[in-house]
Structure 1
């Protein structure tokens, strides 16, 4: 069977160019669709629900915790389901579910409705969060695995930068058309609904069906789930699980509290909620833009050093980035650009090193779990 190559990336037998391009397409929309709900939340809480500033931090924290707990409960089952039924239907369904959640979220009229819609969203996020690294580990040969993951994370970052660069200005543009603030918020999130449906449709059409070495004989879902649990007996895999949890928390903190903090700072400085959201998302985009070169460097480095050492380096960089925020006197001032850049490098390094370690140590059978 002919081997597919894309530059330095060498694929497993049976993986075609269209499968890889579809994965890159899904990667482009992955992080943007998962993180936008937190990035847009300050606007929803202020203009649609009417939550006072003093209560938004604690409410955002509760919503994030609820979503993350639901997400954690779903991760292993989603992986096991994909090991049994294939990556394609799970990956596509994840985008469709997130699209539905984005449609419902700005229709909420009370806090309990936000909670319910975030639980729906968590199901989609779980599918997206599991399928990207699973498919990215499935497709390449071992020698190309870290670089393949780096390529996917680069598309993650590009998508987040480009999509949010467009999305961040929409509330101001809608408002300039004379649309009321509540409807502005709904149009804003419904735009992301369309993005999710587009991504899900392409994945459903173009991704490779099935899971590696499981196309002819499907194992019971609990059996593949058990593989994931038993793999944690390997200390390196257990470390990778822990690092992946930390990296996930890193992303949740950035998209929830970083954007909320800067949005409230902007409103207190006299900006409208839409303009403040635009300013806050600008710094969030800087974080992701600076993460792109980090993916290239870390992908190259992780193919050449022990991946546990690479993980330690990545976590140290991430710690320095968050620590630098303590020394920024004005959250909307020029020094924030430097901290945002360092945070971006640390975030990407941590995510890539954790995922790469799992891909290196986990058995191919049950890798999704």
Structure 2
């Protein structure tokens, strides 16, 4: 079949699908299902990123870790999380093909909520290391289920635009949550609350947010999975679907792109914010002021990514998605390279670098997700997306090992 024939086939619209602006859903998708996905998208990345972006304050005021040791501690925490993810991502994708998306998606946010309750109660680094796997287990479910459900719902001709919409909600939620949450410790301290207790309350607010998301998913997300596997199908057999899919070179490329694009997110959420926090403290800012300044730049990165999402989605639906990945990686290389030329990380020039990084981050993640979504088979899609997420976790693990020093 020619490339033109393939393009024509991709643009065939199945009748009976829900329309939402330029998006056309597969038959059976109802407005409440779409609402649940977009609601989870809004809070999904923010729920996972907060634990990293707040690490400077937590390590300083709650645990008492010296500034010069915080980079290695943050790296170790990320390594622990990624090891758990490497163990769980593939099985979670396979389980979602057998048992449906809803129970795993709901459980993910319940686990994150509980982790946010106990995490700031850690009395030592050892306890922090012991609590992190619980949070990581919740992240695993969220990481796999978001792209899986986002690829389940749309018809092929608007897949990239659907993913762009979800990524816009990701970015918007991250911006809103950062702007709302970044000054919370400062506000609590203004009420006469000591810095340590202020940090605990800060984390408990996030626990409440994630619990609300779990409730919405439980009430409104579509149960089951497309072409759901039979209960008698062995889980290991389902898991092998993700491994065998790598024989397709385009899926293999998507797996590799996941490592790069997810590593990009780790750099931003863990080391970018921690770096700016430490620069602020070194310049004489209080920890509350420094975490607020770091949060401002991190929010700006995500704000810039919002208008990039629809443009990238429009472009990726019109070009070969392999070419899209090549373009995205070129932009990412230029944007991160621009940080080398900064003399003052907290100065106005950082806004230019942050804008480039925001555009690159969105393009890289959207191009990788749209490629795997297009190539993954409908039957066993959860297993393929689980393996794709596993490759992303491996990329983050490598970044964490190198970036903490």
Deviation at 1:3, TM superposition (A): 2.0
Is the CA contact 2:171–2:302 (under 8 Å) kept in the aligned structure 1?
yes
Is the CA contact 1:140–1:148 (under 8 Å) kept in the aligned structure 2?
yes
Q: Which residue of 1 aligns with 2:23?
A: 9
CA distance in 1, matches of 2:297, 2:94: 37
Gapped regions of structure 1 (runs ≥ 5):
none
Q: Which residue of 2 aligns with 1:351?
A: 365
Q: Does 1:263 align with 2:277?
A: yes
Offset from partner CA, 1:118-145 (integer Å, 9 cap, x none): 1111111111011010000000111111
User: Secondary structure at 1:278's aligned position in 2?
Assistant: helix
Is the CA contact 1:84–1:220 (under 8 Å) kept in the aligned structure 2?
no
TM-score in terms of structure 1 length: 0.98
Deviation at 1:368, TM superposition (A): 1.0
User: Secondary structure at 1:329's aligned position in 2?
Assistant: coil
Q: Which residue of 1 aligns with 2:295?
A: 281
Deviation at 1:347, TM superposition (A): 0.6
Matches within 5 A, 1:1-369: 2-214=16-228, 219-369=233-383
TM-score in terms of structure 2 length: 0.89
Superposed CA RMSD: 1.1
CA distance in 1, matches of 2:231, 2:317: 33
Offset from partner CA, 1:151-188 (integer Å, 9 cap, x none): 00000001000111100011110010010011000000
Work out the number of aligned pairs and report it: 369
CA distance in 2, matches of 1:72, 1:247: 16
Is the CA contact 2:98–2:230 (under 8 Å) kept in the aligned structure 1?
no
CA distance in 1, matches of 2:382, 2:279: 41
User: Secondary structure at 1:368's aligned position in 2?
Assistant: helix
Deviation at 1:217, TM superposition (A): 6.0
CA distance in 2, matches of 1:80, 1:246: 23
CA distance in 2, matches of 1:216, 1:59: 44
Gapped regions of structure 2 (runs ≥ 5):
1-14, 384-405
